[in-house]
């Protein structure tokens, strides 16, 4: 195995998802590789930091401010659009799923009628 494969195996090992044979290979590699030992320590530290901060409470004031900034940014973006851009967005929204399906069905029907009338226009039924 190459070195990068061992680094990928570290993640699986920390979460208990590594097969027993590969786990043994990883431990043998860790005994001889300083870089991978440092990597596994960094990963363990990261997991412990995330676990310690799992139940943080959200600062409502900060969340409210972020929402206001987002709304303001969206308003500014919408105000700077050209009339062509607004028109193209409206056209795209018109051809969203339900109208698009109806338009496609009508188009196929019209094409079928045109093809049928073209190929079967001159044929007459004869009874023998």
pLDDT digits (tens, 9 = 90+) for 57-93: 778 888 899 999 999 988 888 777 787 887 877 777 7
The rounded distance, in Å, linking the Cα atoms of 64 and 70 is 10
Residue among 33, 12, 35 at smallest CA distance from 22: 12
Burial class from Cβ neighbours inside 10 Å (0-12, 13-18, 19+) for residue 26 reads buried
Per-residue model confidence as pLDDT tens digits over 4-62 = 888 888 888 888 888 899 999 889 988 998 988 998 899 999 888 887 776 667 788 88
Q: Specify the pLDDT at position 64.
A: 92
């Amino acid at each position: 195995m190459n070195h990068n494969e061992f680094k990928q195996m570290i993640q699986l090992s920390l979460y208990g998802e590594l097969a027993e044979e590969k786990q043994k290979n990883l431990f043998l590699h860790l005994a001889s590789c300083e870089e991978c030992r440092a990597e596994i320590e960094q990963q363990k530290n990261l997991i412990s930091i995330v676990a310690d901060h799992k139940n943080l409470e959200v600062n409502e004031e900060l969340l409210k401010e972020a929402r206001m900034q987002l709304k303001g940014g969206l308003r500014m973006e919408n105000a700077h659009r050209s009339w062509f851009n607004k028109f193209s967005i409206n056209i795209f929204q018109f051809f969203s799923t339900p109208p698009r399906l109806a338009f496609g069905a009508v188009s196929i029907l019209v094409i079928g009628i045109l093809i049928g009338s073209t190929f079967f226009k001159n044929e007459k039924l004869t009874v023998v």
